[in-house]
Amino acid sequence: MKIVIGADHAGFALKETIAAELRAAGYEVVDVGAHEYIATDDYPDSAEAVARAVVAGAGEKGILVCGSGVGASIAANKIKGARACLCHDIYSAVQGVEHDDMNILCLGGQIVGPALARQLVKGFLGAKFDTAERFQRRLDKVLALEN
């Protein structure tokens, strides 16, 4: 599976850790930046890069890290086709995919440590959208809101 990953300065260290672990686990990682720590960068730039790459099909899912995860989630969801959610618990990381077809996991680099991030990413990447009628109906309504 190909995963798009990105972060601003506040999420940079956690992004680097996650990317290395994904590569070691055999995932193909598309790192859209930041590629170095730049204290003055802005989360909307990394959010846009991840969201556009996921929507364009450069990866099946995306992982986005900023300080809290909130700003990145807000910005990524401005891109049509992005369903980015902030998750700091396992249930949400899995159920967000299963019930809502979440395609971008947002994490707070100043909130979540590497051990929890590892579990969140594992749950997110392992989950599949449940195509039961009620979940598809709800997703269709969400998609209609974009239009």
Note if 66 is an active site residue.
yes
Q: Kindly list the distances between the CA atom of residue 21 and the CA atoms of 9, 17, 27, 118, in Å, as whole numbers in the listed order.
A: 19, 6, 9, 8
Give which of 70, 94, 97, 66 is closest to 83, Cα–Cα: 97
In angstroms, the CA 99 to CA 110 distance is 27
Please answer whether residues 85 and 106 qualify as being in contact, where contact means their C-beta atoms are separated by less than 8 angstroms: yes
User: Which residue among 66, 85, 87, 106 is the active-site one?
Assistant: 66
User: Which residue among 85, 88, 99, 106 is the active-site one?
Assistant: 99
* Tokens found for residue 37: 């720590």
Q: Which residues are catalytic?
A: 66, 99
